[in-house]
Amino acid sequence: MRNDMQRRLTAEFFGTFWLVFGGCGSAVVSAAYPQLGIGFTGVAFAFGLTVLSMAYAVGHISGGHFNPAVTLGLWSAGRCANKHVLPYIVVQVIAAIVAAGALWVIASGKPDWVPNGFASNGYGALSPGHYSLGACVLAELLLTFFFLLVIIGSTSKGAASGFAGIPIGLALTLIHLISIPITNTSVNPARSTGPALFAGGDYIGQLWLFWVAPIVGALIAGAVGRVLFEESSIEQTVVVEERRTS
């Protein structure tokens, strides 16, 4: 039904907006003040907290994807209906761009503010640690793979009911603790797209990696999830979802 789809897309918009605004905001604003002491660790927890909080706030409406790679990974695992894939991804990207725009307006309100990379992702010269293209591709692919494995596993039959948001949020925190020095952490094409459009230049030129590697990692994880976790529960999820929306 149209109303159900509208509710789902609204939930995905707010969830993705909060992830980009809160996670990138901690990097652009708070991490710029050494006296606050949040550093990489604080930014990592900020991203984890955005997903954790929105998973419980709106996850029951849309499934709490907030990430094109997650949507495609869950589709690969049989957890996302075909008709939801493209609308979810479009709304996620729009929300990320709007969130980055709002963050830019707020951050630029400080007289001496310098955007630098504006929390964008990059490899080579644009990598925080100047990691090579190959290293960044492998990091993004592996980290997205394991992120999806956590999501699929923690929401599978037999997992602790009602607690999936906690391991998912903590997994994203761990991912950031590992990869902020490598790529500034993407594992989310929408999160990468919003800031890159405002940072401009080479950040836009490198954006392809932060679509390709996360999506490939997510699709592989979805395929593995079909084998590793009980197929009946995966298929039942789609059947129930189809019935709810028909």
- Asked whether the predicted pLDDT for residue 246 surpasses 90, the reply is no
Query: H helices within 29-164, ranges in order?
Result: 39-62, 68-76, 82-107, 133-154
Stretch (H or E) spanning 203:
helix 202-205
Burial class (CB in 10 A: 0-12, 13-18, 19+), 177: middle
- pLDDT tens-digit series, residues 176-185: 999 999 999 9
Question: Which residue type, as a one-letter code, is found at position 148?
Answer: L
Q: Return d(Cα 102, Cα 25) in angstroms, integer.
A: 10
- Asked whether the predicted pLDDT for residue 9 surpasses 50, the reply is yes
> pTM (2 decimals)?
0.91
- pLDDT tens-digit series, residues 111-141: 989 999 999 999 999 999 999 999 999 999 9
Question: Domain 2-245 adopts which CATH fold?
Answer: Glycerol uptake facilitator protein (1.20.1080)
Please name which of 85, 68, 93 lies closest in space to residue 214, comparing C-alpha atoms.
68
Give the residue-averaged pLDDT of 198-207. 97
Q: Which residue has the higher pLDDT, 123 or 243?
A: 123
Please name which of 134, 151, 140 lies closest in space to residue 224, comparing C-alpha atoms.
151
- Asked whether the predicted pLDDT for residue 242 surpasses 80, the reply is no
